[in-house]
Amino acid sequence: MNVIASRDGDDRTTAELYEALSKGEDMKVFEICRYISNGPFHIVTIHNDTVLHMASFNKRNNLVVALLRSLPESHFDKLTWVNSGGSTILHEASENNGTVEAAREMLLRAPSLLTMTNKRGETALFHAARYGKTKIFRFLCEEVERAVRKGADLMTFLFRNDKATILHPFSITMNVIASRDGDDRTTAELYEALSKGEDMKVFEICRYISNGPFHIVTIHNDTVLHMASFNKRNNLVVALLRSLPESHFDKLTWVNSGGSTILHEASENNGTVEAAREMLLRAPSLLTMTNKRGETALFHAARYGKTKIFRFLCEEVERAVRKGADLMTFLFRNDKATILHVAILSQNFDLAILITDKYPRLIAETDGNGMTSLQLLAVNPSAFDEGVGNNFLKRFIYNCKNIL
């Protein structure tokens, strides 16, 4: 798998895993997890989601089952890891009906997952009710009944922090009642429509709710615009942005719990350049905003190897620098790594060449561990693969000679 043993191989591994999980490449994910120290507990998002969290969320039932069955018993205690929203892997599995088998395997190895609550005080059973997932709700009900017979407190499962019961969100999601807790119904509708790519439905719902596209749809404080950008719904994002009155432009700088803006989300793929342009027309300050790792959207694009949107953001950065912005804000993050470091670590070598051409001074810069990009390259065997190595290495070394 060419998984390198480098002290910061984390970025490359994370990028590989994230892409494979997003594309549904289950075997690739499984193989990578076999060769990395944390296995399926490797963190792949800024929300502290592990491979198991993301695979469960993405309905990869067979992958989750395979990963769980490959775990030694000594690692079962790690299954109770929670992300930044307090959600376990069982919470993620409870959001859809296709992961009942995975949920069963989770509880066989870590029964305490059943009683664990997220930051809203919701167990996985409550979560299933909130998202209207009847099949997995029934399964979890049976597990809860067993747990209660053994002494668990039933109230833990039926109520959350705000005193709402599982009947409130479940009834709302299933369109049985219309109550004062309509927020849950709206969130469930929007979340489902965004997941299914039902752009017109999302647009119509946003027209009739008070927060419009700023309505929060995940426990990570992602808005409709965040999630639509992340899901590459370029046309939807553009339509939502163009429907906004100018008085609402200041809301475009909202950040989720990982500190990411909508521009960060858009920078993770090449299909949202138009959306990114519309964002910056309305909220230029998005360009300089950093997430909790100190990454601007430009840095984010470099980390995920998205060349097309990286080029677009480069042009925007150059304009901003001419107006007085500090270039270093865009090229470095909190741990002193540069955009060149992360491009190499994530094996985006064409982008690395583009970066050295544009910002040659980065070649000599060291990260927090004192490593230059050339040193990182030396411990990355993929750079020497046939079909990649020759042209890339020649150009990279030529740029190095000119600067060092």
Q: Provide the H-helix boundaries in 231-306.
A: 234-242, 262-266, 273-282, 297-303
Q: What is the DSSP letter of 72?
A: -
Q: Which positions ≥6 away from 254 have C-beta within 8 Å?
A: 214, 221, 223, 261, 262
pLDDT in tens, 279-321: 999 999 999 999 999 999 999 999 999 999 999 999 999 999 9
Q: What is the pLDDT of residue 374?
A: 76
Q: What is the pLDDT of residue 177?
A: 28
Three-state SS string over 302-357 comes to: HHCCCHHHHHHHHHHHHHHHHCCCCHHHHHECCCCCEHHHHHHHCCCHHHHHHHHH
pLDDT over 80 at 380, yes or no: no
pTM reported for the whole predicted model: 0.63
Share of the chain above pLDDT 70, in %: 87
Return d(Cα 41, Cα 77) in angstroms, integer.
11
Higher-confidence position of 228 and 208: 228
pLDDT in tens, 241-290: 998 999 999 999 999 999 999 999 999 999 999 999 999 999 999 999 99
Task: Name the most confidently modeled range: 13-27, 93-107, 336-350.
Answer: 93-107
CATH topology for 181-297 is: 1.25.40
Residues 121/115, Cβ–Cβ less than 8 Å? no
Task: Name the most confidently modeled range: 77-81, 380-384, 396-400.
Answer: 77-81
- Top CATH class of 10-173 equals mainly alpha
Helices 199-208 and 234-242 meet at what angle, rounded to 10? 20
Q: Where does CATH 1.25.40.20 sit in the chain?
A: 10-173, 181-297
pLDDT interval class at 388 (50, 70, 90): very low
